[in-house]
Amino acid sequence: MKKIVFIFSLFIALCFPIMTDAIATNSSYKSIKVYFFYEDNCKECNEAEDWLKENKNIGIEYKKVEENKDLIIKIKDLLNIKKDNKPLIIIGTKYYIGFNDKIKNNIKEVIETYETNNDYCDVVSKIENNLDTKECIKQDSNTNKSNKFPMFLKIILIFIGIILVVSIIFFIKKKNNK
């Protein structure tokens, strides 16, 4: 019985950081800001706006293109954006031009990645407030090179660990009953 308690305690101690990380990532996306640059007579802008409004857990800042031309020029220079299509959606240092199903999925993924890895740097806010953006770009390039462990794999590992612990307990009990 002491072996069972020891093995279970060891398993919990080893899995605790993974489990707390998994729980922490279920926090609200509102800490990550989505900047939505749009024009009034733009079909894709209207579709994107409707979709963003449906996702109430996403913090959105709406910005009309006409009113933010200088900001857009600075953002495009910093992020090396060449196209002028609308809408322009910026999350941290990631950007999306236009709107379709692939972009919807990418938006969700990038928000989840920023929440999971705490690598979010609000480059638009820094530009608006005349703050240094070098750290954002440097941090983003390091994030792209690093090998992050996806959340679904962490959760799978937790379940595998639980199954292993239950199996070990079962076999120890079976061995002790003989």
Give the pLDDT mean for 113-129. 86
Report the pLDDT value the prediction gives residue 138, as an integer from 0 to 100.
Answer: 74
Query: How sure is the predictor about 174, in pLDDT bands with cuts at 50, 70 and 90?
Result: confident
Report the distance separating Cα 169 and Cα 157, nearest Å. 18
Report the distance separating Cα 17 and Cα 13, nearest Å. 8
pTM of the predicted protein model: 0.62
Report the distance separating Cα 15 and Cα 135, nearest Å. 32
Per-residue pLDDT of 49-70, as tens digits, reads 999 888 777 788 999 999 999 9
Taking all residues of the chain, what is their mean pLDDT, rounded to a whole number? Answer: 80
Dihedral through CA 95, CA 99, CA 100, CA 105, nearest 10?
40
Indicate if the pLDDT at residue 113 is higher than 80.
Answer: yes
Where do the domains of the chain lie, and which CATH numbers do they carry? Answer: 2-24+152-177 (no CATH), 32-146 (3.40.30.10)
Report the distance separating Cα 43 and Cα 77, nearest Å. 26
Instruction: Please choose, from the candidates 59, 63, 72, 68, the residue with its C-alpha nearest in 3D space to the C-alpha of residue 33.
Output: 59
If residue 74 lies in a helix (H) or strand (E), which one and from where to where? helix 69-79
